[in-house]
Amino acid sequence: MDNVGTQSQDGTPHPGTRFGTGHKHPDPRGAGHVVENHGMKTGGYELASPGETITPPELSTPFMDPVPRETSSGRADPAHSARVSFKISPPYGRRRGRVVAVANQKGGVGKSTTAVNLAAYLTLAGGHILVVDLDPQGNASTGLGINSRDIDRSIYEVLHGELAAKDALHPSVLPGLDVLPSTVDLAGAEIELVSAFSREIRLRRALESLNELYDLILVDCPPSLGLLTVNALSAADELLIPIQCEYYALEGLGQLLHNIELVRANLNPRLNVGGVALTMYDARTRLAEQVVAEIRKHFGELVYRTIVPRSVRLSEAPGYGQPIALYDPMSRGGIAYRDLAQEVAARTGLLAGNEGV
Ligand SMILES: Nc1ncnc2c1ncn2[C@@H]1O[C@H](COP(=O)(O)OP(=O)(O)O)[C@@H](O)[C@H]1O
Ligand SMILES: [Mg+2]
């Protein structure tokens, strides 16, 4: 908890922020997708009514056209613009909401950026995805178009047992991608929950009721190993560790792995490290190459093949409340997160035609 607040980004919306555009979004995830509105607050835009089927215009050669297509509303179809050519298909057709905690107690290594952008691409691939923002700084919430001023029901009330998780769900800038947002109040939860009953498994309990609504639940952890991160580890099926391709990249990871052991032994025997994502790679330095080699040596097959480069576009996108898939999908950072999302889908058994991998 002592590390909370060390991040450089303060989550303040950029002056040009476009929150709550009042558009009725076409569903970007393909023809015939049934939009389910789980009785959520609709922020600044309308969702389709429950059960309504939205059929985007016919695509003669899906995902192959170099020119971004326009939907009937005149907006480019995001899945098409982002060239998302893989599909999410829940194993055996059933959602089970596997929970992936994005954790690393270091600040500024790309946790929130990874959670936001993986979630967006998995959604564009047809998934129903939830991002749980467990960081009081709320970077994942802002990055997905949720204005902190609009949040009156957050993960804070859920952890305190005052609100059911489903009542704190907010729709994001992308239909099909929901957020359980955080506010600065959450910083107090680390201390307030210390003496609370079942304090380490509050999040797990809360998410149990949401499992069947989502294909994947990504939990964006704060930069500490305090009670909030312990809650994430207790709720998670697996951990995704973003590692910045910089000097001292592996420093502190021993402590994280030790905590994982403790949680596995005492709270959550099924917890595993599911993957390591390499972030902020700067191809101009020899150092980055050496760091990648060292991380691969250390974690072996756990390291995803896709390396996310350092890209200004990735750092600009949150200021507009947009994931890179909407802001600039063809930027190098966009392409990298799309490819990483496909790898994550394959490894978590969500890739259509690839069940059980
Ligand atoms: N690949 C990248 N290239 C450039 N900037 C990045 C990249 N990934 C993240 N950033 C920026 O670096 C800062 C820290 O990233 P963030 O995802 O918030 O880290 P964390 O959640 O681990 O603290 C943010 O300002 C973010 O926009
Ligand atoms: Mg963060």
CA 10, chain centre distance (Å): 18
**Cβ atoms within 10 Å, residue 64:** 10
Closest-lying ligand to the alpha carbon of 6? 1
Ligand nearest to the CA of 331: 1
- Asked whether 57 and 28 are in contact (CB, 8 A), the reply is no
Give the Å distance between the CA of 146 and the centre of ligand 1. 18
Q: Is the shortest distance between the CB of 311 and ligand 1 below 6 Å?
A: yes
- Read off the pLDDT band of 75 (50, 70, 90): low
pLDDT tens readout for residues 82-125: 889 899 987 766 778 899 999 999 999 999 999 999 999 999 99
Please give the pLDDT value at position 323. Answer: 98
pLDDT, residue 242, reads: 98
Lowest mean pLDDT among 7-21, 137-151, 281-295: 7-21
Residue listed under structure tokens 């680390």? 190
- Given pLDDT bands bounded at 50, 70 and 90, which one contains residue 18? very low
Q: What is the DSSP string of 227-276?
A: HHHHHHHHH-SEEEEEEESSTTTTTTHHHHHHHHHHHHHHT-TT-EEEEE
Residue pLDDT, tens place only, 168-204: 999 999 999 999 999 999 999 988 998 888 999 999 9
Give the span between the Cα atoms of 117 and 104, in whole angstroms. 17
Q: Which ligand is nearest to the CA of 281?
A: 1
Pick from 109, 111, 113 the residue to mutate for probing ligand 1's pocket: most ligand atoms within 8 Å of its CB: 113
pLDDT given for residue 301 in this prediction: 96
Share of the chain above pLDDT 90, in %: 65
Give the residue, out of 109, 315, 332, with the most ligand 1 atoms within 8 A of its beta carbon, to mutate for a pocket test: 315
User: What secondary structure letter does DSSP report for 147?
Assistant: -
Strands (E), 63-201: 98-102, 129-133, 170-171, 177-180
For the stretch 305-317, pLDDT in tens is 999 999 999 999 9
Indicate if the alpha-carbon torsion angle 331, 78, 315, 298 is positive or negative: negative
Ligand nearest to the CA of 141: 2
Model confidence pLDDT, tens digit, residues 314-330: 999 999 999 999 999 99
Question: Is the model's pLDDT at 354 over the cut of 90?
Answer: no
In CATH terms, the fold of domain 98-347 is Rossmann fold (3.40.50)
CA distance 182 to 89: 29
Number of H helices, E strands in the chain: 12, 10
Q: CA-to-CA distance for 19 and 16, rounded, in angstroms?
A: 9
Contact 221, 1 (CB under 8 A): no
- Whether ligand 1 lies within 6 angstroms of the CB of 113 is answered as yes
- pLDDT at site 68: 42
The pLDDT of residue 56 is above 80: no
Which ligand is located closest to the Cα atom of residue 137? 2
Identify the bridge partners of residue 272 per DSSP, sorted by sequence position: 238
Task: Label residue 81 by pLDDT band (50, 70, 90).
Answer: confident
Q: How far is the CA of 354 from the centre of ligand 2 (A)?
A: 31
Instruction: Please provide residue 306's backbone torsions phi and psi, each rounded to the nearest 5 degrees.
Output: -70, 130
Q: Tell whether ligand 1 has an atom less than 6 A from the beta carbon of residue 315.
A: yes
What is the whole-number distance in angstroms between the Cα of residue 348 and the centre of ligand 2? Answer: 23
Binding site membership of 280 for ligand 1 (Cβ less than 6 Å):
yes
User: Which string of DSSP letters, residue by residue, matches 273-306?
Assistant: EEEEEEEEE-TT-HHHHHHHHHHHHHHGGGEEEE
For ligand 1, say whether the CB of 109 is within 6 Å of any of its atoms: yes
- Give me the pLDDT at residue 80, please: 87
303-306 long-range contacts, CB within 8 A, separation 24+: 303/275, 303/276, 303/277, 303/278, 304/275, 304/276, 304/277, 304/278, 304/340, 304/343, 304/344, 305/343, 306/277, 306/278, 306/336, 306/339, 306/340, 306/343
Q: What is the pLDDT of residues 220-254, one digit of tens each?
A: 999 999 999 999 999 999 999 999 999 888 888 99
Counting residues of the chain whose pLDDT is more than 70, the rounded percentage is 77
**From the CB of 306, is ligand 1 less than 6 Å away?**
no
Hey, where are the domains in the chain?
Answer: 98-347
| Ion ligand 2 residues within 5 Å by Cβ | 111-112, 135, 139
For 225, the token pair is: 């190993």
Pair 194, 227: CB distance under 8 Å: yes
Q: Which stretches within the chain are classed as H helix?
A: 78-81, 111-124, 139-143, 155-159, 186-192, 202-208, 227-235, 253-266, 286-299, 312-316, 324-327, 332-347
In this structure, what token pair is assigned to residue 318?
């949150």
Nearest residue CA, atom 14 of ligand 1? Answer: 108
105 touches ligand 1 (CB under 6 Å): no
User: What was the pLDDT predicted at 302?
Assistant: 97
Closest-CA residue, ligand 1 atom 23, reads 108
C-beta of 279 in contact with ligand 1 (< 6 A): yes
The amino acid at 311: S
